[in-house]
Amino acid sequence: MDIRANHLGMPLDISELDRENLTYFQYCAAHAFHLQACDACALIRYPPSTACPWCASPDARWVPVEGRGTVHSYTEVHHAIQPAFRAHTPYLILLVDLDAQKGQPTADEALRVVGNLATADGLLAPPEMIRNVGIGTRVRMVFTDVTSGLALPQWTIDEAAPRSAPPWRYPQE
Amino acid sequence: MPLPTDTDTTSPTYLRDKYAIVGVGETAYMRGSGRTTRALATWAVRNAIEDAGLKPADIDGMLSYQSGDSVFSPFVAGDLGIRLDFYMDVFGGGSSTEALCGMAMGLIEAGMCRVVVIFRAMNGYSQVRIGGTGVRAAAPISGDMLHSRTYGWQSAGQMFSPTFMRHMYDYGTRPEQVAAVKATHSEHASNNPKALLKNRVTVEDVLASRIICKPLHLLDCCLETDNANAIVLTRAERARDCRHPPVLIRGVVGRCNKPRMDMHYQHGPISTVAGRFAREILWRNSGVGPQDVDITGSYDAFTFTTMLQLEDYGFCKKGEGGDYVSDGTIRLGGRRPNNTSGGHLCEGYTHGINMVIENVRQLRHDVDDSCPPGPDGRRLHTYDYREGGCRQVRNAEVTANLGWAMPGTGSAMVMRRG
């Protein structure tokens, strides 16, 4: 069955034909991040898809993946184009390298999972939190509940991570 | 520069210089055209045919590109009384022009038609806004966009910025270096009477403009524009009978991709763009290299896109794009000017076709600046490049257009004076 929902005032519509996305978001709804692992070559892939991007096998199973990683790059949006986000600027869009499978199958590859910077409760992060995050920040996954069968994976600062060098941020604040 | 005499023979060398762009035309660049895309396209195509010295009846092929925001070829052809032997309207934005030039060559080579018009018409400001606001931002989110628009990751600027930021991180590229692209293109536009923005701006002006999404300031971004542009392409031997000196197509590469074009960020380094792959085809097909190019047309949807492509097509070493675009090389009067019309940042946004048109005019040695016409109707260029003056590059022989769809996809075309 289709999932129709509303997130920050935006209509989301997952067709019942879109089996990969339905399954992906159903796991998220249970706050259990899962991705497809290829039966043939064992590599995990993101985002959900019908075949393996490395070996083209259509056979895969959903496996739990730890939602922990490092910010690979980001943008900080000050001028929202979607009305839903206008009340939430500035907001961060993060590309996060998962620790799982980083550097595989080649050194330049990683499972780079998109999300906003959020609070531990899954709400869009306030400006004072945003100022502490950049390339290199350690983050952990949290979920924003949208409706039955649909939650969105998001990222928050991993407070338990060992302190390292300050993250790289765009020079102009 | 003169062409090298020894050329690679592993590519379709028989196509080098076999096809030519013989006509170019456009509407004004506007914000609020007050006309339909059908009317805009009709005017641009009519102007291009006239520029070629041809008649509508000479045209038998038509190609266009759009994103659900424009008129289709049959209507434009019908309005001009053109009977087509072939047409195709493809989905696409930036990087389509060069790719369609390659397809037009293939069509003629296959005997399917003889003279092809390529057009792009859009009300990118007054109807379907290129920045993504309005209709596009309000559409329901489904499919692959569940992993992007849901997170407020939708507009071109938002989608490309992780690439731009990572380039700064990987190579130490600085905001003021990239801002020099806008300052330079604004100098060029000040010598282009048809440019939407003709005022010169400085690097400081760019950095003082408000942040849209980091690292992009307002003045790092192109201009939403209403306009139509068209070009006419045919065999080189036919071009000899046309109105202007022919501009020959030396080689093309179309919509070449990085791995994982579905979500290219999965495959790094993300600070490298499709030009890294496209250059292998472009230079091989063209039989020239970056060192032979007099003028570039590196797509400036944003200041960063110009820099990234010049770097990955090999105009400088990897990581040195920031230096290349800020050391005077890309200015009029510099060693290799880029986007001499002012490009998307200043002339107007067209998804790349106006940059091809500009280089056609440069290679004719007859850009439409403010220099006075001589007895034969062609402008007497002064080459002084002062504000409001000349923008013709002296002795331009070879150009390279570098089209950009997104970090993972690009097209390019080398042209030369016939």
For the segment B121-160, what is each residue's pLDDT rounded down to a tens digit?
A: 999 999 999 888 888 888 899 999 999 999 999 999 999 9
Mean pLDDT over B253-281 rounds to 95
Mean pLDDT over B83-111 rounds to 97
Q: Over pLDDT 70: what percentage of chain B?
A: 97
The tokens of B311 are what? 């770097």
Can the peptide bond before residue B162 be classed as cis, meaning omega within 30 degrees of 0? no
Q: Residue B299 catalytic?
A: yes
Give the number of domains in chain B: 1
Torsions phi, psi for A132 (to 5 deg): -95, 0
Cα A10 from chain centroid? 18
Q: What is the pLDDT of residue B378?
A: 87
Let me know if residue B26 belongs to a domain: yes
| CA–CA dist B307, B296 (Å, integer) | 11
User: Cα separations (Å) of B234 from A23, B14, B53, B171, B363?
Assistant: 52, 15, 13, 43, 17
Per-residue pLDDT at B247 exceeds 90: yes
Nearest to B304 by CA among B199, B207, B215, B187: B215
Q: How far is A109 from chain B (nearest CA, A)?
A: 5
Q: What is the pLDDT of residue B349?
A: 97
| CA–CA dist B249, B125 (Å, integer) | 32
Kind and range of the H or E run holding B137: helix B135-138
Give the model confidence (pLDDT) of A122-138 as tens digits. 999 999 999 999 999 99
The active-site residue out of B19, B299, B313, B324 is B299
Q: What is the pLDDT of residue B5?
A: 58
Mutate which of A6, A33, A93, A96 to disrupt the B interface (most B C-beta within 10 Å)?
A93
Average pLDDT, chain B: 95
Across-strand partners of B136?
none
Let me know if residue B152 belongs to a domain: no
Give the model confidence (pLDDT) of B175-233 as tens digits. 999 999 999 999 999 999 999 999 999 999 999 999 999 999 999 999 999 999 999 99
Q: Name the amino acid, one letter, at B13.
A: T
The tokens of A80 are what? 């929202």
**Which residues in chain B have their CB less than 8 angstroms from residue A81's CB?**
131-133, 137, 154-155, 158
Let me know if residue B211 belongs to a domain: no
**Which residues in chain A have their CB less than 8 angstroms from residue B267's CB?**
106, 108-109
Per-residue pLDDT at B46 exceeds 90: yes
Give the model confidence (pLDDT) of B317-361 as tens digits. 999 999 999 999 999 999 999 999 999 999 999 999 999 999 999
Mean pLDDT over B293-298 rounds to 98
Q: How many CB pairs (< 8 A) connect A and B? A: 130
Q: What is the pLDDT of residue B1?
A: 67
What is the CB neighbour count within 10 angstroms for residue B34?
Answer: 9
Q: Name the amino acid, one letter, at A49.
A: S
Check CB contact under 8 Å for B211 and A78.
Answer: yes
Q: How far is A41 from chain B (nearest CA, A)?
A: 17
pLDDT band at B8 (very low <50, low <70, confident <90, very high): low
Residue of A nearest to B143 (CA): A14
Strands B295-298, B398-406: parallel, antiparallel or unpaired by DSSP? parallel
**Which residues in chain B have their CB less than 8 angstroms from residue A10's CB?**
141, 149-150
pLDDT band at B78 (very low <50, low <70, confident <90, very high): very high
Nearest to B138 by CA among A85, A42, A109: A85
Supply the DSSP string of B371-384, one letter for each residue.
Answer: PPB-TTSSB-----
Mutate which of A3, A10, A81 to disrupt the B interface (most B C-beta within 10 Å)?
A81
* A114: nearest CB among B140, B147, B168: B147
Mean pLDDT over B33-41 rounds to 98
**Which residues in chain B have their CB less than 8 angstroms from residue A172's CB?**
175, 207, 211, 214
User: Cα separations (Å) of A171 from B102, B127, B157, B178, B179?
Assistant: 42, 36, 18, 14, 14
pTM: 0.96
Mean pLDDT over A3-8 rounds to 94
Chain A segment 138-157 residues within 8 A of B by beta carbon are 152
pLDDT band at B11 (very low <50, low <70, confident <90, very high): low
**Which residues in chain B have their CB less than 8 angstroms from residue A109's CB?**
266-268
The tokens of B248 are what? 């020959």
Mean pLDDT over B18-46 rounds to 98
Q: Which domain holds residue B274?
A: 14-128+224-417
Q: Is the ipTM of this complex over 0.95?
A: yes
Check CB contact under 8 Å for A75 and B162.
Answer: yes
Let me know if residue B148 belongs to a domain: no
Let me know if residue B264 belongs to a domain: yes
Mean pLDDT over A49-64 rounds to 97
Q: How far is A159 from chain B (nearest CA, A)?
A: 23
Q: What is the 3-state secondary structure (H, E, C) of chain A?
A: CCEEEEECCEEEEECCCCHHHHHHHHHHHCCCCEEEEECCCCCEECCCCCCCCCCCCCCEEEEECCCEEEEEEEEEECCCCCHHHHHHCCEEEEEEEECCCCCCCCCCECCEEEEEEECCCCCECCHHHHCCCCECCEEEEEEEEEECCEEEEEEEECCCCCCCCCCECCCCC
Residue of A nearest to B211 (CA): A78
Per-residue pLDDT at B273 exceeds 60: yes
Check CB contact under 8 Å for B169 and A95.
Answer: no
Q: How far is A160 from chain B (nearest CA, A)?
A: 25
**Burial zone of B375 (CB within 10 Å; 0-12 exposed, 13-18 middle, 19+ buried):** exposed
Torsions phi, psi for A112 (to 5 deg): -100, 105
Sign of CA dihedral B393, B396, B400, B401: positive
Per-residue pLDDT at B10 exceeds 60: no
Nearest to B24 by CA among B249, B226, B186, B228: B228
Question: What CATH number does the domain containing B257 carry?
Answer: 3.40.47.10
pLDDT band at B3 (very low <50, low <70, confident <90, very high): low
Cα-atom radius of gyration of chain B, to the nearest Å? 20
Let me know if residue B173 belongs to a domain: no
Give the model confidence (pLDDT) of B366-406 as tens digits. 999 999 999 988 899 999 999 999 999 999 999 999 999 99
Let me know if residue B348 belongs to a domain: yes
Q: What is the pLDDT of residue A29?
A: 96
Per-residue pLDDT at B68 exceeds 80: yes
Q: Could you tell me if A14 lies within 8 Å of chain B, comparing CB atoms? A: yes
Let me know if residue B138 belongs to a domain: no
**Which residues in chain A have their CB less than 8 angstroms from residue B144's CB?**
47
Across-strand partners of A68?
A140
Q: Is B255 left (phi over 0), alpha (psi -120 to 50) or beta?
A: left
| CA–CA dist B404, B388 (Å, integer) | 29
Q: What is the pLDDT of residue B6?
A: 53
Q: Could you tell me if A32 lies within 8 Å of chain B, comparing CB atoms? A: no
Chain B segment 116-155 residues within 8 A of A by beta carbon are 131-133, 137-138, 140-144, 146-155
**Which residues in chain B have their CB less than 8 angstroms from residue A80's CB?**
152
